[in-house]
Amino acid sequence: MARYILAPAAARDLEAIYRYLLQGASLAVANRVETDIYKAFDDLASLPSIGYRREDIRRSGFLSHTVFQYLILFRRNPELRIYRIIHGARDIPRRL
């Protein structure tokens, strides 16, 4: 299995997403979203062609990948480093 580095901010984002879904939806939903996000990390690490540049964050050098409504923001240099996991409705450039 390929490896990735989860930045502290991304770990906090993932924890906040889980807590939010646990309170607002259910344990099953929170677990499913968390599992799918971790699966996406593995996919990103093993398939370097996944990810795209968004015009609104182009200057940051981040690539993004979407899981449900959440954007995983990452860079490859050369290892995969996951920086943030942000809801797509948020002002992404401002949160960076």
* Torsion sign over Cα 17, 13, 61, 55: positive
Domain ranges of the chain: 4-95
Q: Provide φ and ψ at 86, rounded to 5°.
A: -130, 140
DSSP codes of every residue in 19-81: HHHHHHT-HHHHHHHHHHHHHHHHHHHH-TT--B--GGGGGGT-EEEEETTEEEEEEESSSEE
User: Average pLDDT for residues 43-67, to the nearest whole number?
Assistant: 85
Question: What is the distance between the alpha carbons of residues 96 and 85, in angstroms, rounded to a whole number?
Answer: 11
pTM: 0.88
Mean pLDDT for the chain overall: 89
Per-residue pLDDT tens over the stretch 15-54: 999 999 999 999 999 999 999 999 999 999 999 888 888 7
DSSP for residue 85: E
Q: Does domain 4-95 have CATH number 3.30.2310.20?
A: yes
